[in-house]
Amino acid sequence: MANSAVAEAPAAPPMVCASWVELCGPSARRTIGRIAAPYLDDAQTIPTLLLHDYGSALRLFQAGDTLNNLLEAAARSQMRLAGASFDERLRALAELADGALHRIRELQGAVAARAATVAELNERAVAANGAGHAMAWLARDVAAPSWAGKLDRLLDVLSDALDGPAIVLLDQVLAEILERTGARAVIVAPSSDFDGRLRTLVGLL
């Protein structure tokens, strides 16, 4: 596992997203992590799950004015870079969010209902246009309600995936989880499986 899971990643240049693929890039995910930090902490989720797990994305859409407030914050920060007015950028972001939800639903509808095996994630990750399907499968499997549940599910996969193409996807999810204060607190909280959980996590970094 790359040390990037805990080290601060280098800042990516700012960009204005126009597609779901661009939303899934590191710069956009970092922006989502910053702008949506209170929601991510309250919902115990991460940007990658919002962009690949339909249930996580739908909960954000149904969370009252939360999505609108996030889109407005993004529009204010991006309008100058986009060369657009606030209303123009807000409208573009709203359309992008709607399109992303549709894309996420399509991707998760195309993967099996059961949990993915490491071999299947590796196979999907290297297939033409398969990375999105692999991440959608992984995201659905990891999307437990709590940080503890997410970590347990992720570590179950990671323990059998120390190499192979899917490690890049797993590393991305783990890095985003470790950015959340609540998730880090769960890792070090005293519990019956604390030693085993910590040893497994350290061995993966």
Cα-to-chain-centroid distance, residue 192:
28
Q: How far apart are alpha carbons 138 and 24 in whole angstroms?
A: 15
Segment (H or E) for 68:
helix 66-82
Are residues 55 and 61 in contact, defined by beta-carbon separation less than 8 angstroms? no
Are residues 49 and 177 in contact, defined by beta-carbon separation less than 8 angstroms? no
| pTM score, whole prediction | 0.84
Q: Give pLDDT tens digits for 76-101.
A: 999 999 999 999 999 999 999 999 99
Q: Give pLDDT tens digits for 15-66.
A: 689 999 999 999 999 999 999 999 999 999 999 999 999 999 999 999 999 9
Q: Structure tokens of 105?
A: 């639903």
